[in-house]
Chains A and B, each alone.
Chain A
Amino acid sequence: ELKVEQNPLFLSMQEGKNYTIYCNYSTTSDRLYWYRQDPGKSLESLFVLLSNGAVKQEGRLMASLDTKARLSTLHITAAVHDLSATYFCAVDGRYGGSQGNLIFGKGTKLSVKP
């Protein structure tokens, strides 16, 4: 059974600081996704990582995937208040024959304070 663990679950940061959110998963997968959710809102796609060593960056966020270690990271550079949200990683549960059956982590609630 595929399990996805994120840590930390809660993160309070000061503006301007850097931090990394970790996403570990338990079985082989070659597709990993990062989403953002604002309170009371739906999920917004941030990154799709499709191969070992994939790295994607958008603004102050950078995501990477190491399929051998079964680990993805979401790195935040020089945090700003607008990044406050809950971040989810999700792993495709079917290796090599995806039907998009995503298994989600519990999410990391990020709060960026002045």
Chain B
Amino acid sequence: NAGVTQTPKFRILKIGQSMTLQCTQDMNHNYMYWYRQDPGMGLKLIYYSVGAGITDKGEVPNGYNVSRSTTEDFPLRLELAAPSQTSVYFCASLGSSVETQYFGPGTRLLVL
């Protein structure tokens, strides 16, 4: 199993551009999550999904959108990039509540 994979690893965006961060898991997990990590601030939940077709907002959803059309994929969309969205983005998945979340390798995003 590859676990949780994310693409791209690194991206530079200009203000106002849009992009999609890809996340795929091959563990057949129902739960998937998007976090952002700013320096010295820990991780904050952006959006999560409890299954295909079901998504909900986390702590910091503004400026982002998600979709979940399959169990495997959970893309994160930035429509109008802003400097405040410069961060490292982690995708994670969870099989059951008694387990731990499995994190992807992260996408480092710089908005200039």
Interface residues of A (CB under 8 A from B): 4, 9, 31, 33, 41-45, 48, 50, 88, 90, 92, 98-107
Contact = CB atoms under 8 A, between A and B. Distances in A.
B97 A31 contact: yes
Interface string B14-42: 00000000000000000101000000111
A98 B94 CA distance: 11
A104 B44 contact: yes
Contact of B48 (A4, A50, A99): A99
Do most interface residues of chain B lie in helix, strand or loop, or is the interface mixed?
Answer: loop
Contacts of A107: 40, 42
Contacts of B44: 104
Nearest to A47: B100
A99 B96 CA distance: 8
A48 B31 CA distance: 17
B90 interface: yes
A100 B43 contact: no
